[in-house]
Structure formats: C-alpha cells, structure tokens
Amino acid sequence: MSYRLTAAIALAAALGASWARAETSPPNTCAGAPAAQRPPSDVARDAARKPAEMLAFAGIKCGDTVIELVPGGGYFTRVLSLAVGPGGHVYAAAPDPKSGDAEPAAAKIAAEPGYGNVTVIPVTAAGLLAAPAADVIWTAQNYHDMHLSRLKVDVPGFDKLLFSKLKSGGVFMVIDHVALPGSPVTETADKLHRIDPAFARSEIVGAGFVFDAESPALRNPEDPHTAIVFDPSIRGKTDQFVFRFHKP
C-alpha cells in the first residue's frame, strides 16, 4: 500500500469526530495550522459536499502542494488550505479577474488571517507553468467547464499540461456533475453543466494519467440527469462522480 493511500486511511479515521465540530474547530486542520475559521455558509454545505471523505480519498496530507483549478466561491480553497497546513500551499488557479468569468473569492480568502498559504494564479498555461510541481491537482464541479463552446479550450492539451505539473505519484482529483451516458460533451456542458463520466475518464487517461478508483460518496441515483445543475429541483444534490487518477 502506498504512503499516500496509507495517509488517506489514517486521515479518514482521524477526521470523523473533528468534522462534527466544524462550527468551532476547523475540520481536517493540519497540526500547527492557524485557527482560521470557515464561514457558516460553508459549514452548512458540508453534509452535501462531504469534504472529509473527499480529502481522505485524494490522500491530502500536511505539507502538500495543491493546485486547485477554478476555485469558484472558495469552498474547497479553505478546506484544502487548512488540510495542507502552514508547511503546504494551495495555488488557486482562477480566471482573469477582469473577465466575465472572474472569481474573486480565492483572492479574498488569501488575504484573510489563517489562509496565508493560498496564492491565486491565472488558470492559463503560463500561470500553471509558473507554479511549483503539485502533489495534488484538484478540480471540483468544473472539469466540464473546459468543454464550454465559448471557451474554445484544447482540453486534451490542457490535460497534458496538468500531467506535466504533477509530481510522479501525484494525484489528480476530479469531482463533477454526471450527465447521461453518451451525452455530447460540448452541448451538455453548455446546456446542463454536466459531463459523461466515461468520457471524462477516457479523456484524462488519454493525457497519460492512470485511473485509480472512484468514490460513490456523492452519487445520487434520484437525479434524472436532464436538468441544468442550477435548477432549484436539483441544485446542491446532483449526482456527482469522484475520480482519482495518478501520474506514474
């Protein structure tokens, strides 16, 4: 059993009690990390997003360097920051702050007390190439966005760039909204913000990554997979796949 997976099992066992006390004691805090607090709105989402299980599955440990792709509102930015501690670092790769896709949350988090190990970088080839090699690359609910027609991203090429930024043995963690099998990737990304898990897996493996395992923690068989993820009928409770890959 690898060191990273052994650490993951130990982390999962250690987090059970502390996660329940998230309102007053930040969950999965690395030893020696500042007593930073998570907003109540983030804590309220823990039951749905299962951060302890996600971190354990990814094998996140103290001192890791993590590249987080498109941090959105910063939910996992805070979680990852506290998990890697002062000896680790989170590089939040965010869209251009002057663009219509701007995500200012990560920059605000980086300026908060206790989150000094967060650095915002551009989610561009130049921005990622300038970042240190990562132990973990993390993307939650946004891998499908790379297939949006308006962005015109060379996704296979981008995946190869991510492969180059990961240390040997490092983990690529992908969480995203499930689309129906065989769904056309661009059309489904545009209309529903979902992606066929089989397509995503094949595309990522095509860049050189090795598929390790899938976690069922965020699966929801009651999701019909036909509504946009922002629809009130399904928002916050979509069926999601959780894939772990590694770089040989």
Do 199 and 185 meet the contact criterion of CB atoms below 8 Å apart? yes
Mean pLDDT over all residues of the chain? 89
What are the tokens at 169?
Answer: 């043995």
pLDDT given at position 21:
36
pLDDT of 31 higher than 90: no
Do 103 and 70 meet the contact criterion of CB atoms below 8 Å apart? yes
pLDDT tens digits along 89-136: 999 999 888 888 888 999 999 999 999 999 999 999 999 999 999 999
Q: How many residues appear in the chain?
A: 248
- In the chain, where the domains are located: 3-246
Q: What percentage of the chain carries pLDDT values higher than 90?
A: 81
Sign of CA dihedral 199, 204, 208, 211: negative
Q: What percentage of the chain carries pLDDT values higher than 70?
A: 89
pLDDT given at position 16:
38
Element (H, E) at 32: none
> What is the mean predicted confidence (pLDDT) over 217-243?
97
Beta strands in 104-202, from DSSP E residues, in sequence order: 118-122, 134-140, 166-177
Q: Which fold has domain 3-246?
A: Rossmann fold (3.40.50)
Strands 240-246 and 65-69: unpaired
pLDDT given at position 171:
98
Residue among 191, 239, 189, 192 at smallest CA distance from 214: 239
pLDDT grade, residue 26 (50/70/90)?
Answer: low
